[in-house]
Structure 1
Amino acid sequence: MKITEGTLTEAWQRTVSEHALLHGVGLPPVALSEDELEACAERTEEAADDSLFLLLDEDGTVHGRHGPYLEVFATRDLEQVLYLIAEDAIGRDGGSPEETAVTLDRIDPAWGRRFRSGCLNGTGTVEECGRDPLEGLAWMAKSWREQAPYTTLSFFRAAPEQPVDAERLALLYGADPVQVAAGTRLKDLQAVDNGRAHWDRQWKSCCFGQAGGWTFLLHHDTPPGSFADKEAYAALGIKESVWLTATSSKAIYTLDYLRDGRRVDDDRGVLELIWYERGRAPYLRGGELDFLNRALRRAELDHPEVASTFELYFHALEGSLGLRVPRRDFAEGEVRAAYWAEG
């Protein structure tokens, strides 16, 4: 059945009347054009609070927007629209993700299962974590917000479970070939002059290695002239790369995920980590990054003790993509390291 403004209004009124927990929850503002949506948002005092608006196309597609521009879902399934309105309304009450799940359970057990899975059609599942969430990658999240140990965390692989050659990659970025050939470790750089010399030069260093089926390369500023040999870079066979970049002085923290030469972003452009709020999917439901929405929901439910959204986000990246950085190797200074080559 094609969704119209009338059918949407009637369906929501019926849903509210059948469930006491939704009494008083109004249908979000419905617009029939972009101009009407913008005008509606300007009239709504809560627009600055990321309120939910609905844009209804002639073909019956309902677009959910946070504010007039940020699209969070698009569907022609009326039941999905009703669920997403309820999820948004209940999530805004300030309860934990588990409390939201329990409330949705009480309205409809299928809705509770859908919320717990993080999957819009309710059929997706993510295995429970069962391990320390601050081991694989999330251990680095807190210090990374303060630009330590590095502002750029990049990961590369040629195919699932096929990392690229870490030494070749570091050299193409500009790592000192003498130190790479010598197998220099982070503890070797830190040992010079009791670490004072490394403190002065750490912004011109990198660490690299392999973990979780990826090659990682961590650094601050990339030296001028890196990637000069484009053919050698292409020969590495990189098919996927993930970049996490922190600019703490400007409070900007971004994710770039490239696959087969194109950015995976649902046409949103720069993906900032501050868009993620506990209990709310940061990316388009059913979109290219929905796998990360599902992993975040799993992380939230598995680890309510983790207060930092950055740690939850990093843990979700580990759970969904397998990104890891060896904590012990860093703690013991055993991770491979080098300064950028001079000249």
Structure 2
Amino acid sequence: MTFVRDRVVVAELRSVAEIDWLEDRARTARQSHMPPKQAAAFEEFLARQGPVGDGVAWIAGSWRRQQPFTKLEFIKGPTAEDVALAYGADAQDIADGLLLHQVEEQDEREGTDDLTRVLAFGEENGWTWLGYHDFDHAFSRRPLDPPPEQQITLGATMAKAIYAFSYFEDGVYQNPFPVEDGAEDRRDMYELIWYTPGEAPFAPEAPLSFLNLHLRIAEKAGNWTDNIALFFEGLERAFGLALPRDAITTGNVRCARPARR
């Protein structure tokens, strides 16, 4: 069975394994197996698909205010437990299945402040996700060996109004420079305040130029008016990112404190 739009095949009935492979290739803008017109049509077909599960746009507003985390990371490949250990999480907390609400309740009982020094983690839609604060650098990105297939980092620094986005593929930074810079050798972070709805944030030759389409579709959907929430919805559509809304808001997600020294 095939699906055709404007005389161009945009989807076919295939095995689950083949569809997974095709979707991964399309999401990362590597459609060399398709003619350009078909690749563009298939990319638009994918961009119009709704978010998986809860998506991530729902957390954009509180994340902007550094709640419940200042750092959100999404890693494709390694398990959540392996990533948490690589980031310096306590192995015993991971083995015990410590939950975020347990740390919050302990803070209330004992007057401690451990909630700001834990790493929350889980797996959604084939991605490992991490949420944490980096106030005292208790957790920071450590090299994973081998490098993950994909890694997305979102960091909020409210006091400086810095909201950063970075994307790595097979350990290589994808240089998401903005259109207006025109400096092709730029290698610093992309700040979300640079994004203006209605304008393409990434130059056509940039590795992340395929995000432009997903952001345009998100803008047309009209689900959000806040720029950061719109950008997050674009990431939902481009990468299939999701966070468990109820579990995070109720504290029923796994977490770990920094490894004891």
Task: Settle same-fold status: TM greater than 0.5.
Answer: yes
Letter in 2 for 1:240: Q
Letter in 2 for 1:322: G
Q: Which residue of the partner structure matches residue 81 of structure 2?
A: 167
Task: State yes or no: 1:140 paired with 2:59.
Answer: yes
Match for residue 205 of structure 1 among 91, 111, 118 = 118
Letter in 1 for 2:199: R
Q: For residues 109 and 195 of structure 2, what CA distance do their matches in structure 1 show?
A: 37
* Structure 1 residue 280: Cα displacement: 0.6
Letter in 2 for 1:331: T
**Count of residues in correspondence between the two structures:** 211
* Structure 1 residue 195: Cα displacement: 6.4
Q: For residues 130 and 155 of structure 1, what CA distance do their matches in structure 2 show?
A: 19
Gaps of 5+ in 1: 1-118, 159-163
Q: Which residue of the partner structure matches residue 248 of structure 2?
A: 330
Encode CA deviations 1:129-184: one digit per residue, 9 max, x unaligned.
45699x310111001111111111111112xxxxx111121122111222111011
> In 2, are the aligned partners of 1:180 and 1:337 still within 8 Å (CA)?
yes
Task: State yes or no: 1:339 paired with 2:257.
Answer: yes
Q: For residues 151 and 186 of structure 2, what CA distance do their matches in structure 1 show?
A: 18
> In 2, are the aligned partners of 1:211 and 1:324 still within 8 Å (CA)?
yes
Match for residue 48 of structure 2 among 118, 122, 128 = 128
Task: State yes or no: 1:302 paired with 2:221.
Answer: yes
TM-score scaled by length of structure 1:
0.56
Q: Which runs of 4+ in 1 moved over 3 A?
A: 121-124, 129-133, 193-198, 224-227
Q: Helix, strand or coil: the match of 1:290?
A: coil
- The structure-2 alpha-carbon separation of the partners of 1:341 and 1:122, relative to structure 1 and needing over 3 Å to count, comes to closer
Match for residue 264 of structure 1 among 171, 174, 187 = 174
* Percent identity between the two aligned chains: 36
Task: State yes or no: 1:293 paired with 2:207.
Answer: no
Q: Which residue of the partner structure matches residue 163 of structure 2?
A: 253
In proportion to residue count, which structure has more helix? 1
- The structure-2 alpha-carbon separation of the partners of 1:321 and 1:171, relative to structure 1 and needing over 3 Å to count, comes to same
Task: State yes or no: 1:194 paired with 2:108.
Answer: yes
Encode CA deviations 1:166-207: one digit per residue, 9 max, x unaligned.
112112211122211101111211221536746x22221110
Encode CA deviations 1:86-118: one digit per residue, 9 max, x unaligned.
xxxxxxxxxxxxxxxxxxxxxxxxxxxxxxxxx
- The structure-2 alpha-carbon separation of the partners of 1:122 and 1:250, relative to structure 1 and needing over 3 Å to count, comes to same
* Structure 1 residue 339: Cα displacement: 1.4
> In 2, are the aligned partners of 1:299 and 1:315 still within 8 Å (CA)?
yes
- The structure-2 alpha-carbon separation of the partners of 1:325 and 1:225, relative to structure 1 and needing over 3 Å to count, comes to closer
Written as runs of structure 1 = structure 2, the 5 A alignment for 1:60-209 is: 125-126=44-45, 127-130=47-50, 135-158=54-77, 164-194=78-108, 197=111, 200-209=113-122
Q: CA RMSD in A?
A: 2.6
Q: Which residue of the partner structure matches residue 202 of structure 2?
A: 283
> In 1, are the aligned partners of 2:80 and 2:128 still within 8 Å (CA)?
yes
> In 2, are the aligned partners of 1:166 and 1:215 still within 8 Å (CA)?
yes
Gaps of 5+ in 2: 1-36, 177-184
- The structure-2 alpha-carbon separation of the partners of 1:173 and 1:130, relative to structure 1 and needing over 3 Å to count, comes to closer
Q: Helix, strand or coil: the match of 1:125?
A: helix
- The structure-2 alpha-carbon separation of the partners of 1:187 and 1:297, relative to structure 1 and needing over 3 Å to count, comes to same
Letter in 2 for 1:323: L
Q: For residues 311 and 139 of structure 1, what CA distance do their matches in structure 2 show?
A: 7
TM-score scaled by length of structure 2:
0.73
Q: For residues 151 and 204 of structure 1, what CA distance do their matches in structure 2 show?
A: 11
Q: Helix, strand or coil: the match of 1:320?
A: helix
Encode CA deviations 1:7-40: one digit per residue, 9 max, x unaligned.
xxxxxxxxxxxxxxxxxxxxxxxxxxxxxxxxxx
Letter in 2 for 1:301: K
Higher relative contact order (CA 8 A, sep 6+): 2
Q: Helix, strand or coil: the match of 1:243?
A: strand
Q: For residues 138 and 238 of structure 2, what CA distance do their matches in structure 1 show?
A: 31
Bigger radius of gyration: 1
